[in-house]
């Protein structure tokens, strides 16, 4: 019996792991807002899930090429300074595409190559299933609107019906944010809240742990 002087028994926090589809998050939430791209994911998830016991934040992406590569490299270095964040990289592969524009008058080779992100969906699905089998968490939280992840979510629900899956769809566009398939596969679905993004930015300069600093890209202001 709990008396006036007895300690209040608090319910244990839910063990949670966050899985972030990096490019889905980027294009859905921050692409058009440079000042929000320098995002401290650990702080952001802390604002988003203040009552959870966040065990890990797994960030899935692939290295880009071209002029935006230095920005991405700086951001990944910044994320690496936060121990709770684990970065999992896939890769880009050149995909052969044939131009099918009916009004195109080009008489030469109509074949061109575009970069295609590979392995990210598979990596996310494997890590989610592995964490479920290892009982590393009770709540799996996914930031993505990609329907390719539905089979992984369905398998987790089949094998581990006691575990909860929440999907946050990153989107500033209602059409992109519909994501009906992946929303339907989760126990709970939400559109990713954007109001915490401005509150969860990294400092301009971050100690990198090796005596140097990681600096916010100039065009991310």
Q: Is the dihedral of CA 165, 170, 173, 176 positive or negative?
A: negative
How distant is the alpha carbon of residue 148 from its chain centre? Answer: 15
Residue 147, domain member (yes or no): yes
State which residues form the domain around 85: 18-91+119-215
Q: What is the pLDDT of residue 116?
A: 54
Q: What is the pLDDT of residue 176?
A: 79
CA nearest neighbour of 26 among 186, 167, 188, 197: 197
For residue 125, the domain's CATH number is: 3.40.50.1010
How distant is the alpha carbon of residue 71 from its chain centre? Answer: 17
Residue 113, domain member (yes or no): no
Total number of domains constituting the chain: 1
Q: What is the pLDDT of residue 7?
A: 62
Can you read off the two tokens belonging to residue 37? 């791209």
Q: What is the pLDDT of residue 102?
A: 73
Residue 99, domain member (yes or no): no
pLDDT along the chain (221 residues), means of 10: 60 95 96 97 98 98 90 97 96 58 69 60 97 98 97 98 98 88 98 97 95 96 94
pTM: 0.86
Can you read off the two tokens belonging to residue 71? 């920005």
């Amino acid at each position: 019996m709990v008396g006036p002087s007895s300690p209040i028994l608090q319910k244990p926090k839910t063990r949670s792991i966050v899985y972030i589809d990096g490019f889905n998050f980027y294009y859905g939430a921050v692409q058009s807002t440079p000042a929000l791209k320098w995002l401290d994911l650990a702080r952001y998830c802390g604002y988003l899930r203040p009552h959870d016991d966040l065990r890990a934040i797994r960030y899935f992406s692939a290295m880009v090429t071209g002029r935006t590569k230095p920005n991405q490299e700086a951001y990944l270095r910044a994320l690496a300074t936060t121990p709770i964040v684990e970065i999992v990289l896939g890769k880009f592969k050149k995909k052969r595409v044939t131009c099918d524009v009916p009004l195109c008058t080009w008489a030469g080779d109509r074949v061109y190559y575009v970069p295609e992100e590979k392995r990210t969906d598979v990596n996310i699905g494997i890590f989610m299933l592995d964490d479920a089998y290892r009982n590393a968490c009770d709540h799996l939280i996914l930031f993505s609107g990609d329907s390719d992840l539905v089979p992984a979510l369905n398998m987790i629900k089949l094998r581990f019906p006691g575990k909860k899956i929440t999907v946050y769809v990153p989107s500033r566009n209602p059409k992109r944010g519909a994501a009906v398939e992946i929303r339907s596969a989760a126990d709970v679905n939400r559109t990713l809240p954007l109001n915490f993004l401005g509150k969860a930015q990294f400092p301009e300069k971050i100690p990198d742990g090796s005596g140097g600093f990681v600096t916010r890209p100039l065009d991310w202001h």
